[in-house]
């Protein structure tokens, strides 16, 4: 599974379509989790996060970053 967001800039070596990305494995009942520390340089704001698996789009949500 690929999880991608501009909020991940500077903390990952991977990208999906030019957007920083991380990978996660799905477990029992198709659940997943991924821990990631965001950059201290990341500006406060709302960032979109998307996920894909097997070529299909799983949807989007947003992350609110505060300082």
Q: What is the DSSP letter of 8?
A: G
Does residue 31 lie within any of the structural domains? no
Domain membership flag for residue 51: yes
Strands (E), the chain: 2-4, 14-16, 19-23, 45-53, 56-65
State how many domains the chain has: 1
CA distances from 1 to 4, 47, 64 (A): 10, 19, 22
Range of the domain at 47: 2-26+43-65
Q: Are strands 14-16 and 19-23 parallel, antiparallel or unpaired?
A: antiparallel
The first and second tokens of residue 60, run together, are: 């989007």
Assess if residue 58 is contained within a domain: yes
pLDDT digits (tens, 9 = 90+) for 7-41: 999 999 999 999 999 999 988 888 888 899 999 99
pLDDT at 66 over 90: yes
Q: Which of 60, 62, 1, 55 has its CA nearest to residue 33?
A: 1
């Amino acid at each position: 599974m690929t999880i991608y967001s501009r909020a991940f800039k500077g903390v990952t070596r991977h990208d999906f379509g030019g957007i920083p990305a991380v990978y996660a494995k799905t477990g029992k009942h198709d659940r997943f989790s991924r821990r990631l520390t965001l950059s201290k340089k990341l500006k406060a704001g709302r960032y979109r996060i998307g996920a894909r698996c097997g070529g299909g789009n799983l949807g989007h949500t947003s992350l609110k970053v505060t300082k």
